[in-house]
Amino acid sequence: MTASRKSQRRRRRQAPRKGLTVRRPDDLLAVIPYLVGFHPEESIVAVFIHSGRVVLAARIDLPPESAADEVAAQIEYLVNRHEAAALALVAYSAASLPAHRLLTRLMDQLGDHELADVLYVGHGRWWSLSCAEDCCPLSGTPFDLSSHPVSAAAVFAGLGACANRQELAASISGPPDTELPRLQGLVETLLTELDFDDASSAARLMVSLVDTAVSDPGALDERRALLLALLVTDLRLRDLAWALISPEDAEKYVRLWGAVVAKVPPRLAAAPLCLLGFAAWACGAGALLNCCCERLARVDPDYSLGRLLRDISAQALPPSLWQQMGGELQAGLRAELASLAG
């Protein structure tokens, strides 16, 4: 992938949970924020469909019309990787004419694929570029996502969407700078209590902290979060913590490691960010995965697990590859953890 493609900030997310039905354009617009993790602005979103189900949603910053060929090539790559049978394209912009021109170019480039919907969205209205002539009013069709039943169903299903991309990034930006001196002092105190030389004791402590936080998120106070972050600075303990994450309960670990990231200073953030990123990938939260990659690039650009996470993001690897990539390794690590922690 070229540097210019990376700079377009692709955001991917797996399909929402079973039970969210999309039949009309406004249904699609209602579910997209929960697919990408936030409400898009000045963006183009491609939704990939296979066997009647959404398998992926990808968002990039709205490019100029001159970049249409490159964007079409990106979408074509994802179509082939995910064996998508159909596509929906949605452009969000306050400027209608450039967005319409871009969508028209993309429709020409992607004409070999079934286009389920091609929509322009702006100023609280949508226009279809793919429906039959005169099917949409010239003034567009108004919609209100706040009261849409698909939005309500998504929230009921446990999905969330930030107001915008900046809000999502802020959620993993860590504690405010004014808190860092106090936190650093607490870290130094906790370091005197930890014994990394006793592998069994450290593993038992980590498992106890993780189990408590997963079963009762409110129990993860500042001290426990810092202890967890300190423990996973040890690469073996970090890998053992990674082995606990599975696609079935990944959302619990998103909450856990997200809470840790929110409470720890930058010097301890790399391992928790990676664990949060892997949990986000496993549950299809591609936008959160990308935010983790971006912050990792700032706090510790050479962190090895962070490079792996960036590769997963850059290649748009689907969460279904989780077991294929790490199932056997995770099984071995879980056995080791059981042996250490008793």
pLDDT of residue 18: 43
Classify residue 173 as exposed, middle or buried by CB count within 10 Å of its CB (0-12, 13-18, 19+): middle
pLDDT of residue 197: 79
Phi, psi of 94 (to 5 degrees): -75, -20
- What are the mean pLDDT values of the chain's consecutive 10-residue runs (342 residues total)? 36 45 81 88 92 82 93 91 90 96 95 92 93 76 82 68 88 96 95 84 91 92 96 93 87 94 96 96 86 95 92 79 66 72 64
Per-domain residue ranges for the chain? 3-167, 171-341
pLDDT of residue 5: 36
Q: Domain spanning 3-167: which CATH class is it, in words?
A: alpha beta
- Total-model pTM: 0.75
